[in-house]
């Protein structure tokens, strides 16, 4: 195990009754409550990070609240409190949030057949990028993302029939 300066690299979070101590050893290793775990942290936007923690993916969006932060983690909202004064290190990693973002639903513009899903869950997409190819009346139509974000959930499979207005995907 690597030696770290815990005064600079450690902070404690509390979600409900669950308290966790996070120590950043290096850009690939975190001590979580003293246990060494492999981690990859990527800052996606000012208040948004992707975290791969021991092989499990977490997409996190933060916003300040009166009592700490609201963390949208893989689509679920949690109240998070930082319970030690080393908040600056935490903010350096994840950035300050200006507002809580909500996922955009991408809906089928017409009834048809899903010819192909062009993206995977967890994939970063740009505004205007194709999400699904939908065939209707013997014509293929590309359904595009309305914004830059991450594909939080795909609700359809290739060769699935969908109705007009059916949710195809969520973009966060």
> pLDDT confidence of 95, banded at 50, 70, 90?
very low
pLDDT in tens, 141-163: 899 888 888 888 899 999 999 99
| Whether residue 66 has pLDDT greater than 50 | yes
User: Does residue 117 or residue 104 have the better pLDDT?
Assistant: 117
User: Which carries the bigger pLDDT value, residue 21 or residue 114?
Assistant: 114
Domain 104-171 architecture: Beta Barrel (2.40)
Q: What is the pLDDT of residue 117?
A: 95
In the chain, pLDDT over 70 holds for what percent of residues?
Answer: 80
Both structure tokens of 147? 């914004």
- pLDDT value, residue 76: 83
The topology (CATH level 3) of 6-94 is: Glycoprotein, Type 4 Pilin (3.30.700)
Domain range annotation of the chain = 6-94, 104-171
């Amino acid at each position: 195990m690597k030696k770290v300066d815990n005064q600079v690299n450690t902070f404690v979070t509390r979600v409900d009754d669950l308290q966790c101590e996070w120590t950043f050893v290096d850009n690939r290793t975190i001590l979580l409550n003293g246990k060494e775990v492999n981690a990859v942290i990527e800052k996606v936007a000012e208040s948004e990070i992707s975290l791969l923690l021991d092989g499990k993916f977490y997409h996190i969006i933060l916003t300040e609240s009166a009592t700490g932060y609201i963390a949208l983690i893989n689509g679920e909202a949690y109240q998070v409190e930082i319970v030690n004064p080393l908040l600056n290190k935490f903010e350096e990693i994840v950035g300050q949030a200006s507002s809580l973002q909500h996922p955009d639903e991408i809906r089928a513009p017409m009834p048809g057949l899903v010819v192909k899903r062009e993206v995977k869950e967890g994939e970063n997409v740009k505004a205007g990028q194709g999400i699904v190819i939908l065939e209707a009346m013997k014509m293929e139509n590309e359904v595009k993302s309305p914004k830059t974000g991450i594909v939080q959930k795909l609700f359809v499979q290739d060769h699935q029939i969908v109705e007009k207005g059916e949710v195809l995907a969520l973009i966060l």
